């Protein structure tokens, strides 16, 4: 962890930058944007780049000794030698953003020695600002939040890829699972606030999708791990992650036991 003064500075900086980035993204939302595809199928728009440039300019100028990892920046391996690294998704849920749906977010974490120490997920279109400080709790719009208690499985309160949710074995009772949430970071943050009981990630996520929400979930009294119950480590050479689950602690333990007893594949 940084010293107390630096940590408070970084927390204030993060909150300000995320709000600035969200305002910029919102100003471009539902306008005509240039778009293209990176990799095989990942959409990118000029809004993603503009927001990324704003965040990079603000954070990198204020903390030049910190590493940098963003979905929309070329990876620089120098981050691997830095104790502190910013991990950024300028617009998480670009497909939802381009489809003019509200369920997208700006997601930024500060990671120290592989674990998040600050995290913010901001959904400007619905005015939801989630923030967490390691050992300092988690909030939504400045009000403390907590993951839902209990261990029961109720499909309308479970979000994630349908094939994965169906493996919980509670299908066939006439219930529909929770509607899809376009931003994975926002999906996970809503576990932290108790709006949904549990959320899955389907195996194609990266550090920038997860790090901020990971801290929010944990500081809200939940757990977010692999299906085997292993904690995630960030700012590694490989920033990809496999199947994941987030939930309040009792429900998380129940789900992890279920997948240990009923392994995939």
Over the stretch 76-127, which tens digit does the pLDDT of each residue have? 999 999 999 999 999 999 999 999 999 999 999 999 999 999 999 999 999 9
Question: Which two structure tokens, joined as six digits, stand for 112?
Answer: 């120290």
pLDDT of residue 171: 52
Residue 167 domain-assigned (yes or no):
yes
Query: Which residues of the chain have a pLDDT value below 70?
Result: 1-2, 170-174, 265
216 closest CA partner among 127, 108, 79: 108
CA-CA distances (angstroms) from residue 37 to 63, 91, 93, 120?
31, 15, 14, 27
CATH at 25: 3.30.540.10
23, 65 contact by CB (below 8 A):
no
pLDDT tens-digit map of 236-246: 999 999 999 99
- Judge if 33 and 10 occupy the same domain: yes
- Among residues 122, 144, 166, the one where a domain terminates is 144
Pairing of strands 67-70, 84-92: parallel
Burial code (b: 16+ CB inside 10 Å, e: under 16) for 97-128 equals bbeebbbbbbbbbbbbeebbbbbbbbbbbeeb
CATH at 163: 3.40.190.80
Pairing of strands 137-140, 143-144: antiparallel
- Judge if 126 and 165 occupy the same domain: no
157, 198 contact by CB (below 8 A):
yes
92, 209 contact by CB (below 8 A):
yes
pLDDT of residue 170: 63
Residue 149 domain-assigned (yes or no):
no
- Judge if 115 and 173 occupy the same domain: no
- Judge if 140 and 38 occupy the same domain: yes
- Judge if 118 and 10 occupy the same domain: yes
Question: Which two structure tokens, joined as six digits, stand for 100?
Answer: 């003019």
Looking at the structure of the chain, the number of domains it has is 2
- Judge if 13 and 139 occupy the same domain: yes
DSSP-derived letter for residue 157 is: G
Residue 211 domain-assigned (yes or no):
yes
Residue 150 domain-assigned (yes or no):
no
- Among residues 119, 144, 169, the one where a domain terminates is 144
- Judge if 237 and 128 occupy the same domain: no
- Judge if 12 and 138 occupy the same domain: yes
- Give CA 75 to chain center in angstroms: 19
pLDDT of residue 151: 96
- Judge if 10 and 138 occupy the same domain: yes
User: What does the radius of gyration of the chain's CA atoms come to, in whole angstroms?
Assistant: 18
123's CB contacts (< 8 A; 6+ apart) are: 22, 102, 103, 104, 105, 129, 183, 186
Residue 202 domain-assigned (yes or no):
yes
pTM of the model: 0.96
- Judge if 132 and 182 occupy the same domain: no
Q: Which domain holds residue 11?
A: 4-144
- Among residues 89, 112, 144, the one where a domain terminates is 144
- Judge if 163 and 52 occupy the same domain: no
Residue 181 domain-assigned (yes or no):
yes
Which run of H or of E encompasses 111?
strand 105-112
- Judge if 88 and 170 occupy the same domain: no
């Amino acid at each position: 962890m940084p010293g107390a003064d630096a940590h408070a500075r970084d927390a204030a900086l993060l909150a300000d930058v995320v709000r600035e980035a969200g305002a910029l993204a919102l100003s471009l939302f539902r306008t005509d944007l240039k778009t293209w595809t990176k990799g095989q199928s990942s959409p990118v728009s000029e809004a993603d780049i503009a927001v990324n440039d704003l965040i990079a300019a603000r954070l990198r100028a204020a903390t030049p000794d910190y590493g940098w990892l963003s979905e929309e920046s070329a990876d620089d391996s120098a981050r691997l030698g830095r104790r502190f690294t910013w991990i950024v998704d300028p617009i998480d849920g670009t497909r939802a953003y381009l489809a003019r749906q509200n369920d997208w977010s700006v997601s930024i974490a500060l990671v120290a020695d592989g674990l998040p120490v600050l995290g913010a997920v901001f959904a400007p279109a619905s005015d939801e600002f989630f923030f967490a400080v390691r050992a300092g709790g988690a909030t939504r719009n400045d009000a403390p939040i907590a993951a839902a208690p209990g261990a029961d499985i109720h499909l309308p309160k479970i979000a994630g890829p349908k094939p994965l949710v169906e493996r919980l074995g509670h299908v066939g009772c006439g219930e529909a699972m929770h509607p899809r949430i376009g931003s994975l970071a926002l999906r996970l943050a809503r576990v932290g606030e108790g709006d949904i009981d549990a959320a899955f990630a389907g195996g194609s996520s990266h550090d920038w999708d997860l790090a901020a929400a990971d801290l929010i979930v944990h500081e809200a009294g939940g757990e977010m791990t692999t299906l085997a119950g292993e904690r995630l480590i960030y700012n590694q050479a490989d920033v990809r992650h496999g199947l994941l689950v987030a939930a309040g602690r009792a429900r998380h333990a129940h789900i992890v036991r279920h997948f240990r007893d009923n392994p995939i594949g």
